[in-house]
């Protein structure tokens, strides 16, 4: 029972921090909104190679930008761990009579909820720009992929935060990691347009399967079968959650 309470308390803390930090919400949404506005308007009439027939670039782009929003907001959840360590809060929760796994799960629950809220906001913004989801069922099903993307990259952020103490260093490492993951995922253009060796790296990127799954559910077109996207992303998510818990258990906080 105490483990469940610990998870809930950490989740609630993240919700309160998110609701009170309006600048954080604006900052997180600003870049995806600019990407949507300028790329969609600038390339909407351009014929990209391997773009699905009958799909405009705006329709193709929105799931990719949604994946980008989840990627950025999720990985930087690890930054809150470093801030908590800096101000002594992390040490206080470490001495609580609960397992560190519960602490990890609480942070993942809180971070994924805030990421989902931000993803939903971007989806609403895209509707005003002309994006039209394929179906209501597909829009609801996309939440499964959004949750798995959040779980995966929050865990990666926690892995990095567990092995680092410098906040500025964490930010640099995350930027170095996040942008290649984003560009390799096919968020902005079809993965098939990449050279063969680079395409191999794309299929090692968890976000590739998340973005492809979002396209399949939101616009009804995907490069890979939806079941394969879901299975691979779920495996990545489980793997990184276990790794995140393992590294957090062994970090000297």
Max CA distance (Å), the chain = 59
The answer to whether residues 188 and 65 touch, using CB atoms and an 8 Å cutoff, is no
At residue 231, the pLDDT reads 95
The answer to whether residues 215 and 221 touch, using CB atoms and an 8 Å cutoff, is yes
Arithmetic mean of pLDDT, 134-144: 87
Arithmetic mean of pLDDT, 5-20: 77
Query: Residue 214: pLDDT above 90?
Result: yes
Q: Flag the least confident range among 83-97, 102-116, 143-157, 159-173.
A: 83-97
pLDDT higher at 14 or 231: 231
**How many Cβ atoms sit within 10 Å of the Cβ of residue 186?**
28
Please name which of 176, 59, 189, 61 lies closest in space to residue 199, comparing C-alpha atoms.
189
The answer to whether residues 180 and 206 touch, using CB atoms and an 8 Å cutoff, is no
Query: Residue 125: pLDDT above 70?
Result: yes
- pTM > 0.75: yes
Conformational region of residue 220, where left means phi above 0, alpha means psi within -120 to 50, and beta covers everything else: left
Query: Residue 211: pLDDT above 90?
Result: yes
pLDDT higher at 197 or 98: 197
């Amino acid at each position: 029972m105490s483990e469940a309470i610990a998870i809930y308390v950490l989740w609630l803390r993240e919700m309160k921090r998110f609701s009170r930090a309006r600048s954080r919400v604006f900052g997180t949404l600003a870049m995806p909104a600019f990407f949507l506005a300028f790329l969609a308007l600038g390339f909407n009439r351009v014929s990209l190679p391997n773009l699905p027939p009958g799909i405009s670039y705006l329709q193709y782009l929105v799931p990719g930008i949604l994946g980008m929003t989840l990627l950025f907001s999720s990985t930087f959840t690890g930054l809150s761990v470093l801030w908590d360590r800096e101000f002594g809060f992390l040490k206080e929760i470490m001495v609580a009579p609960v397992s560190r796994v519960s602490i990890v799960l609480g942070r993942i629950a809180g971070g994924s909820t805030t990421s989902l809220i931000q993803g939903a906001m971007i989806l609403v913004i895209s509707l005003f720009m002309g994006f039209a989801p394929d179906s209501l069922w597909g829009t609801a099903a996309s939440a499964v992929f959004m949750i798995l993307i959040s779980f995966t990259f929050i865990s990666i952020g926690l892995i990095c935060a567990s092995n680092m103490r410098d906040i500025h260093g964490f930010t640099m490492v995350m930027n170095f990691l996040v942008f290649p993951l984003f560009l390799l995922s096919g968020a902005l253009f079809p993965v098939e347009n990449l050279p063969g060796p680079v395409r191999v790296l794309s299929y090692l990127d968890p976000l590739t399967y998340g973005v492809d799954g979002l396209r399949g559910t939101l616009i009804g077109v995907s490069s890979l079968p939806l079941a394969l996207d879901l299975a691979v992303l779920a495996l990545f998510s489980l793997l990184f959650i276990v790794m995140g818990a393992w590294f957090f258990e062994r970090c000297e906080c």
